Structure 1
Amino acid sequence: MANNLQSSLVRDFRQTLLWPVQLMTDDLGPSAVHCPWDVLKATPNSPWREIEDEFLQSASLLSETRYQEFVTFMPFAQRFLYGEGKHGRESGGYGESPIHIFTRNDIREVRITLQGESDPLILRVSHIELYFFFDIDVAMLALEVTAKDLPLQHAMEVLYRLGRTYPNYWEESGEGGHCAQRIEWLDPHGQVIAASDYENKARYLAFVKENHVPCVSLHWAALMSPLVQHYSEQAGEIRYRELEYQRMPLMAYLSFDDVSQLSRGDLIRLGLVCQPWHSETLPFTEQFLQDFEKNNCYDRYWDDSRQDAWSTTRIMSTGQNFVVVGNHQHRVFTNEKTGIKRHYQNQYFLLFLIAHFQKAALLMLSDRMVQAISRLDMQSEDSIKTFRNRIRNATAVFLRFTHRYWFENVSDQAVAKDLFALMLKQLDSADLFEKTRRRIMDMAEYLEGEEIKRQADTVVRLTVVTILGLIGTMTSGLLGMNLIDLTQVSLLEKLGYFSIVFIPVSLLTFYTVIKSRRLSLFLDALSNEGAGLGYKLVKLKNVWFGRLDER
């Protein structure tokens, strides 16, 4: 490694991992809502505790930090993030926030052993949170770790390796490819709560062979508990499965004594979250990276000439990653109240959360459509009925998602507006939204067409029965109702005569319904003035002797 990586210290290192997962549910009706947060609250001995929103606490004043965060967003985004106040709730408005947040405090540190290193690193766990969203079967795990005076080489390794849910491959030594050698969650007393098992190749291979989905490492599975991975043998009411790539989306904040000492190669590796290497080299070819600054850097606070002391903050976004670097000494970057550091912890995190939640929700809805189609058996009436219910449910959820959660802009403040637009563009969420909308609308139109066809077929059958029944009705009407005088007979005889007429008429009506489709073809032929007598007689014959598949 170049001396730059060995000598540069990250004075303040923060990494926030965001893991979106799909919650698996039984088939629910269009009006049913899955409430996993209620299940989690009712789970005995669960390490998760729901966070009471500051807006709902008894204090008379809101904290200034939360106020600054609140006013960053536009009203519709505020209702999504914070709900409505008491007047809105009392008038039947939006109500409380649709976000339910849980936290756990039993994990205080992460001990990570990097490949090729003998001494592990100890990172402090700043917070662990689990987000649920009303009416959307998606949960998001947020984990933030911090460190002080961390060598840049180690910081890059942690960024690259910490957020891996399973290995891509295995090295010849048996260690998981792209993963840390070992990751351990430590309790307040330094005791290990759970550890990674990336080296257990047999477990991952067997799980994929049997279930056709990747297997989550043991330390991540333990962190999510009592939520359990779908298809696993563990018992649990709340089950989940992964939605995206095995490397979690991440945010990072790194402050340096002098950020200008970082080379272009260092900055690109940080922005793309690549493995550390010689500072004078690039991670990829110059041709591939020629538009990196244009497409991935938000340089509102960055100036290559360094003419102003405050112009030393670079924000880099790739959709999957959001990385901020700057000078540790300058208050614009490190100020705990109004600096970039505070924005990173609050506003920028919420922008990142919303963008990835929207993508995860759209992927979840697309998966539901695939599952509905894959389980459809056109030969089974029960399967067709279940398919209709699933499509109607997915359509209803998508419509509610569109009006409650889908925004292409969440703020009028310049920086927040620009950053959110950049995230949506890089995640390609607008295109994913439109594709999902078209697929769901296609399904809805298919169901509507099938319903209209079924209703039309019923009308045709009833029309045929009515026409044929009209013959008997008119005949009885012309002959009068006193064809057989039953006024002097007993009630028992009247019931007998009634049965003699009722049974054959009923059988004739049912038989007419059975043959109604073919009789309708005969009536069409009979009404066709251009058709000859022979054609009409053939159609009449087909009522009893035609092919079963004739329509």
Structure 2
Amino acid sequence: MLFYLRSGCVVNNIESSVIADFRQTLLWPVQLISESNSQKIQRPWDILKAENCPWQEIQDEFSLAKQSLSEVRYQEFVTFMPFAQRFLYGEGKHGRESGGYGESPIHIFSRSDVNQVRITLNNHEAPIVLKVAHIELYFFYDIDVAFLALEVTGENIQLNHAMEILYRLGRTYPNYWEENGDAGHCAKSIEWLDKQGHVLACSDYQDKTRYLSFVKDNHVPCVSLHWEFLMHPLVQHYSSQEGEIRYREIEYQRMPLMAYLAFEDVSKLTRGDLIRLGLVTQPWDSETLPFTEEFLSNFEHKHCYDRYWDNNKSDPWSTTRIMCTGQNFIVVGSKQHRVYTNERTGIKRNYQSQYFLLFLIAHFQKAALLMLSDRMVQAISRLNIEDETSIKTFRQSIRNVMGVFLRFTHRYWFESVSDQAVAKDIFAMMHQQLNTLDLFKKTRSRIMDMAEYLEGEEIKRQADTVVRLTVVTILGLIGTMTSGLLGMNIFDFSQTTSIEKFAYFVGIFVPVSILTFYTVVKSRRLSLFLDALSNENTGLLYKVAKLKSVWFGKVDN
């Protein structure tokens, strides 16, 4: 039996299994906001191409001057259907030259200064050092969303430590603080290290005053310092830092994560262990469940993809379980299974390439829809129906959102991206768990409501203009018919000089113009009078009252 501490309590736990190969990938979606707070950001990735920037753009293997593609990259490419291939990789030179889809709308940057991460889980555990496999930043053309992707790896890690790392590493800020000052659900300390082991940045979860003050002043959570360090030169919105591109969170404070766990002996895992891994909860006694049996009764049916899993584990090929809860994607298997650990064609390679891209696409779609919803809320919250400038800005903002949504639908929206059985099933699970289809329908419905509102306002404005012009025409018709009946020779100006003729012209032109403009000013009230005048069911007094209201009454909008 093994005893270990958690939050100051002694927990009785069965001896933990050993994870020979541990991999965790964090995916952090953020919404991009320009410094001027404008609705649209043009090519934010260009800012990262400046000198002295830690981020360097990745040259995709498809664009490198090589005679052929690597076999691993080829296997990844053929996983996806043609429309998803164009999204992920763009078109080749012939497609670009013929005016087709063009290059991929994804721009990827990486940084190499962070080599390790040192995690101190609590005061009673020694720090754990993991290797940083890669750090990447993903941008998408025409969508104000970016993704920070971080993968860490380790070897021979105890199961209870792995559960704690999965649970605590991807926290952007604390939920609460313990009585001793420790941040709730967060690690005691997280440090980014360079190749020499020097600390580049450290978390500040225990600085309660900083988080509380930031929320009080800005009404948004504050991001921990070590995550701010990774995102630089992008800076957190509302912070005092200067930066051309700012970001803010658009989802829950715990980042979506993936994990690949190759166990020395996967048969030691109990149902409680598997459920805790799948739901990414804190470790506890393996013989217990993290929640009630009734609550977890359909866990395997809802969250587990058991194409390669047999509870009896009688054969090596039946020791791989894939668990997906939307927010989490966990792959569990045996180190002894060659197909599971093969880095060229096995599940390990699929986890690093195909499965990661499936996870990225699913969460990108959700983040983009949330971003569009947020922009609609911003446009409505800034609308002042009594301010003409505000109304014009609102119309322009909504039209921009409608345009972005239309382009998103045709460029980025897929309900299925692969016909290969495993990839197809996994992506369907992700979509279902994230409820992305329902979010898409709701966002589309809201945008259509906005479109109908703008169209109705435009029709109303045009109808009002027509009414005003009709009133002016009717009243002008009186003078036109009078001049026509009397003829154009009422007055003989043939004997007058040119100056006198010009004076007569001005003397007639000015009052007629004033009368016309005055008629336009009163056109709405005059239209109500004409409407009352044409109504045979109203009496003379009512019509006279409407005539008086042209000068003395109030008109309804």
Instruction: Find out whether 1:422 has 2:441 as its counterpart.
Output: no
- Of 481, 493, 512, 1:474 maps to 481
- Corresponding residue number in structure 2 for 1:38: 46
Q: Which amino acid aligns with 1:233?
A: S
Quick check: 221-230 or 305-314, which moved more?
A: 305-314
How many equivalent residue pairs? 547
Question: How far apart are residue 7 of structure 1 and its match?
Answer: 4.4
Match of 2:232 among 221, 225, 237: 225
Q: Deviations over 1:310-359 (max 9, x none)?
A: 11000001000000010101111011111110100000000000000000
Asked if residue 464 in structure 1 is aligned to residue 485 in structure 2, the reply is no
Please, which of 358, 377, 380 is the counterpart of residue 370 of structure 1?
377
SS of the aligned residue for 2:21 comes to strand
SS in 1 for 2:551: helix
Contact 2:119 2:191 in 1 (8 A): yes
Shift of 1:382: 1.2
Q: In the superposition, relative to structure 1, how do residues 33 and 481 fare at CA in structure 2: closer, same or farther (>3 Å)?
A: farther
Give, in whole Å, the separation in 1 of the partners of 2:227 and 2:391: 38
Match of 2:9 in 1: none
- Asked if 1:549 corresponds to 2:555, the answer is yes
The answer as to 2:20 corresponding to 1:11 is yes
Give the distance between the partners of 2:221 and 2:400, measured in 1 at CA.
28
How do 1:384-395 and structure 2 match up within 5 A?
384-395=391-402
- State the one-letter code of the partner of 1:13: F
Give the 3-state SS of the residue equivalent to 2:154 in structure 1: strand
Preserved CA contact (<8 Å) 2:525 2:555: no
The more displaced of 58-67 and 10-19 is 58-67
Q: Is the 8 A contact 2:119 2:187 kept in 1?
A: yes
- 2-structure distance, mates of 1:466, 1:10: 86
Matches within 5 A, 1:281-300: 281-300=288-307
* 489-498 or 218-227, which deviates more: 489-498
- How do 1:133-152 residues align onto structure 2 when only pairs under 5 Å count? 133-152=140-159
Q: Which amino acid aligns with 1:17?
A: L
Out of 341, 366, 369, which is 2:348 matched to? 341
Render the CA deviation track for 1:211-232: whole Å, top value 9, x for unaligned: 0000000000001001000000
Helix, strand or coil at the partner of 1:56:
coil
Equivalent residue for 1:185? 192
Mapped partners of 1:257, 1:118: distance in 2: 23
Q: Report the alpha carbon displacement of residue 64 of structure 1 after superposing the two structures with TM.
A: 0.9
- Equivalent residue, structure 2, for 1:99: 106
Judged with a 3 Å threshold, the aligned counterparts in structure 2 of structure 1 residues 477 and 28 are, in CA distance, closer, same or farther, namely farther
What TM-score do the two structures reach when normalised by structure 2? 0.96
Name the SS for the 2:463 alignment partner.
helix
Contact 2:233–2:243, Cα closer than 8 Å, also in 1: yes
Matched-pair contact (CA < 8 Å) for 1:358–1:405: yes
Aligned mates of 1:27, 1:441 — CA distance in 2: 25
In structure 2, give the amino acid aligned to 1:538.
Answer: A
Counterpart AA for 1:14:
R
In the alignment, does 2:402 pair up with 1:410?
Answer: no
SS of the aligned residue for 1:338 comes to coil
| Pairing 1:328–2:335 present | yes
What aligned pairs does 1:152-191 form with structure 2 within 5 A after superposition? 152-191=159-198
CA distance in 2, matches of 1:461, 1:410: 55
Q: Is the CA contact 1:6–1:153 (under 8 Å) kept in the aligned structure 2?
A: no
Shift of 1:298: 0.2
One-letter code of the match for 2:286?
S
Residues in 1 aligned to 2:377 and 2:524: alpha-carbon distance in whole angstroms: 34
What are the equivalent positions in structure 2 for 1:114-125 lying under 5 Å apart? 114-125=121-132
- CA–CA separation in structure 1 for the residues paired with 2:224 and 2:367: 21
Per-residue deviation at 1:532?
3.0
Partners of 1:276 and 1:118 lie apart in 2 by 14
What residue is the counterpart of 1:71 in the other structure? 78
CA distance in 2, matches of 1:139, 1:288: 35
Give the 5 Å matches for 1:351-362.
351-362=358-369
Structure 1 residue identity aligned to 2:22 = F
Q: Which residue identity does 2:47 align to in structure 1?
A: V
CA, structure 1 residues 229+171, in 2 after alignment: closer, same or farther (shift >3 Å)?
same
Q: Is the 8 A contact 1:253 1:325 kept in 2?
A: yes
Q: Distance in 1 between matches of 2:556 and 2:320?
A: 75
Deviation at 1:67, TM superposition (A): 0.8
- Could you tell me how far 1:28 is from its partner in structure 2? 5.4
User: C-alpha distance in 2, partners of 1:376/1:441?
Assistant: 18
- Distance in 1, matches of 2:542 and 2:171, equals 73
- Contact kept, 8 Å, 1:2 with 1:278, in 2: the verdict is no
Secondary structure of 1:55's aligned partner:
coil
Q: Deviations over 1:1-35 (max 9, x none)?
A: 75876442100000000000000135658xx6621
CA contact (8 A) 2:33 2:41 kept: no
**SS of residue in 1 equivalent to 2:318:** coil
Q: Which deviates further from its counterpart, 358-367 or 18-27?
A: 18-27
CA-to-aligned-CA distance 1:441-483 (integer Å, 9 cap, x gap)? 1111111101110110000000100111111111112222222
SS at match of 2:204: coil
| Aligned counterparts of 2:58 and 2:38: Cα–Cα separation in 1 | 28
Q: Deviations over 1:137-185 (max 9, x none)?
A: 0000000000011111111111011000000111112111111100000
Instruction: Answer with 225-234 or 434-443: which moved more.
Output: 434-443
Aligned residue identity for 2:430:
M
Indicate the residue corresponding to 1:494 in structure 2. Answer: 501
Counterpart-to-counterpart distance in 2, 1:487 and 1:33? 68
> In 1, distance between residues paired with 2:213 and 2:355?
40
CA contact (8 A) 1:6 1:151 kept: no
| Aligned equivalents of 2:125, 2:431: Cα separation in 1 | 41
Matched, 1:275 2:276: no
User: Which amino acid is the alignment partner of residue 58 of structure 1?
Assistant: A
**1: distance between equivalents of 2:556 and 2:288?**
74
Greater CA drift, 323-332 or 534-543: 534-543
Between the aligned partners of 1:281 and 1:534, the Cα distance in structure 2 is 87
* Counterpart check, 1:81 vs 2:88: yes
Give, in angstroms, the shift of residue 266 of structure 1.
0.7
Separation in structure 2 between the aligned mates of residue 17 and residue 483 of structure 1, nearest angstrom: 90
Specify the SS of the correspondent of 1:289.
coil
1:318 partner amino acid? T
Measured in 2, the distance between the counterparts of 1:117 and 1:371 equals 46
CA 1:217 to 1:369, structure 2 compared with 1: closer, same or farther past 3 Å?
A: same
Q: Which residue of 2 aligns with 1:131?
A: 138
- 1:34 maps to amino acid: Q
Alignment partners' CA distance in 2, 1:363 and 1:5: 42
| Alpha-carbon distance in 2 for matches of 1:165, 1:536 | 70
Work out the CA distance in 1 between the residues paired with 2:37 and 2:25.
34
2:280 aligned with 1:257: no
